[in-house]
Amino acid sequence: MDRHSNYYNELPTLYLIPTPIGNMEDITIRALSILKKVDILFAEDTRVSIKLLNYYNVQIPLKSYHEHNKATQTDVILSLLKEGKTVGLVSDAGMPLMSDPGFEIVQASIEAGFNVVSLPGPNAALTGLAMSGIKPHPFTFYGFLNPRSSKRQKELELLKTRTETLLFYEAPHRIKDTLYDLYKVFGDRKACIAREISKKFEEMIRGTLSELKDLEELPGEMVIIVSGYDSALEVTEEVAIVSRVEALIEEGLSKNEAFKKVASERGLAKSVIYKEYHENHLD
């Protein structure tokens, strides 16, 4: 066991500094104070972070720390801490380490006996969850799912029966595929997309996975909030197929068109949907 008091020693410190997730004013007074105090700042993308530093007229040395150079830069940061330097770490937006680089240098700094101080501040997942209208606790923050559909579906299968609210991050070019996989694996659940959080075009899209999966392409980084598994609401696959076909028919599709669409949605042959519908449909 190790007990470490960050503020009662003279040891060098690695500061984890949260940065705005959209609006430049979403930064704390303390974060600005620490940015001006550190001897050097490491950033996920220096081109992004320099805009923040310029906005607040903070002039400090800026170096990169990202997924592709973290091994060498971890050694560099440790060397700076050993020299007695105060080091800051930021990601492009939000809290460092949360689906962003930084874990390795935090772990190495702790093992070396240095102070590691994380400042409180902006976080897209928690902000989106608070606005979603979905039960806020308990929850699991998962971050980004695998970019490949087959692996993503396997990840979702492991989460399928989790009863807590689930939070995911997703990029705009994968949002439609991810929403489709969520619906395919989880079935229909209450869900919400929080996009462009704290920016001018912030938008909350609330509904069910069956509705969200048919959305148009959406720009901006997104948080997906999905309600947890509820056995009381579980329906059999056969009943779900019948319900979906009937819903599409009510929307104006012919039976044949509805069979075809449901087959496409679920990755099944049209003949399977036809069979399930006629065997389980109550006239």
- Say what the pLDDT of residue 76 is: 97
Say which residue, 232 or 278, is predicted with more confidence. Answer: 278
Model confidence at 263, pLDDT cuts 50, 70, 90, reads confident
Tokens of 22: 């959209």
pLDDT tens-digit profile of 53-106? 999 999 999 999 999 999 999 999 999 999 999 999 999 999 999 999 999 999
Whole-angstrom distance, CA of residue 117 vs CA of residue 166? 27
Section 167-179 average pLDDT: 95
Section 147-170 average pLDDT: 96
Question: Could you write out the DSSP letters of every residue in 18-68?
Answer: -B-SSSTT-S-HHHHHHHHH-SEEEES-HHHHHHHHHHTT----EEE--TT
pLDDT over 70 percentage in the chain = 96
Q: Which residues contact 6 (CB under 8 A, 6 or more apart)?
A: 13, 115, 116, 117
pLDDT of residue 262 exceeding 80, the answer is yes
The 3 state secondary structure assigned to 81-105 is: HHCCCCEEEECCCECCCCCCCCHHH
Model confidence at 236, pLDDT cuts 50, 70, 90, reads low
pLDDT of residue 235 exceeding 70, the answer is no
Q: Which residues contact 15 (CB under 8 A, 6 or more apart)?
A: 34, 38, 86, 87, 88, 89, 117, 118, 119
Instruction: Assess contact for 181 and 207: CB atoms under 8 A.
Output: no
- Say what the pLDDT of residue 277 is: 82
Instruction: Assess contact for 182 and 156: CB atoms under 8 A.
Output: yes
Identify the DSSP state of 172.
G
CATH superfamily of 13-118: Tetrapyrrole methylase, N-terminal domain (3.40.1010.10)
CATH architecture type of domain 124-231: 2-Layer Sandwich (3.30)
Query: What is the total residue count of the chain?
Result: 283
